[in-house]
Amino acid sequence: MSDDHEPDRVSTERLELRRVGPDDLDALYALNSDPAVWRHLPEGRHTDPSATGAWIERCTGHWEKDGVSYWMARHQETGEVIGVGGAERQDPGFWNLYYRLAHDSWGKGYATEISRAAMRIAEQHGPELPVIAWIHAHNKGSRGVAERLGLHDYGLRPEPRMGEPMHAYADRDLTF
């Protein structure tokens, strides 16, 4: 396990987690344009590389402003990109726990591995903020990940960015 005090590059048991940046456009577009990856939210799929580029710019801005955001996740042994994930500080004051994995990487524990590392980083860089995984009711796989992480389901709430009702799995009581 690497030193988590430098969150732009973190190693886990099987993964190398590296800060998302402009060089990741092709790999992230391949991931985000795959319909199988977006089975739980088909309308979220990227249909143009410019959508992925805008996502990368937003992520890069969070790295610059907060010192923490999302990582590209690569398998340590093969270097294969298996997905993206991490924790990003968002309004109204919480860490957004996020991951998106290549379809052939589902069910192998990678989401839990990425999320555990992200929760450690969030605790180090903003322990006063809750960690929240916003999950659609029908996404049983992600709900299982949240439960394995020890997060509690605080029920359906409007997700702050989109306003859509989603389950708020969090590491503590929510005040908003």
Please report, for residues 100, 106, 125, 149, the alpha-carbon distance to residue 137 in angstroms, rounded to integers and kept in the order given: 17, 18, 30, 17
Q: Could you tell me the CATH number of the domain that includes residue 162? A: 3.40.630.30
H or E element that contains 12: none
Supply the range of the domain harboring residue 18: 9-170
pLDDT score, position 176: 79
Task: Determine the Cα–Cα distance for residues 24 and 157; give it in Å rounded to an integer.
Answer: 32
Q: What are phi and psi of 8, to 5 degrees?
A: -75, -10
pLDDT score, position 10: 97
3-state secondary structure of 64: helix
Task: Determine the Cα–Cα distance for residues 164 and 176; give it in Å rounded to an integer.
Answer: 15
- Judge whether 4 lies within some domain: no
Domain count, the chain: 1
DSSP one-letter string for 66-116: HS--EEEEEETTT--EEEEEEEEEETTTEEEEEEEE-GGGTTSSHHHHHHH
pLDDT score, position 76: 96
- Judge whether 1 lies within some domain: no
Give, for all 176 residues of the chain, the pLDDT tens digit.
444 567 999 999 999 999 999 999 999 999 999 999 999 999 999 999 999 999 999 999 999 999 999 999 999 999 999 999 999 999 999 999 999 999 999 999 999 999 999 999 999 999 999 999 999 999 999 999 999 999 999 999 999 988 999 999 999 999 87
| 13: nearest Cα among 111, 100, 113 | 113
What single-letter amino acid sits at 146?
Answer: A
- Judge whether 2 lies within some domain: no
- Judge whether 121 lies within some domain: yes
pLDDT score, position 1: 47
- Judge whether 118 lies within some domain: yes
**26 Cβ neighbours under 8 A, 6+ residues apart:** none
Residue with tokens 């042994």: 77
Q: Which two tokens stand for residue 141?
A: 């796989």
| 134: nearest Cα among 164, 109, 108, 111 | 164
- Judge whether 176 lies within some domain: no
H or E element that contains 132: strand 131-135
- Judge whether 146 lies within some domain: yes
- Judge whether 3 lies within some domain: no
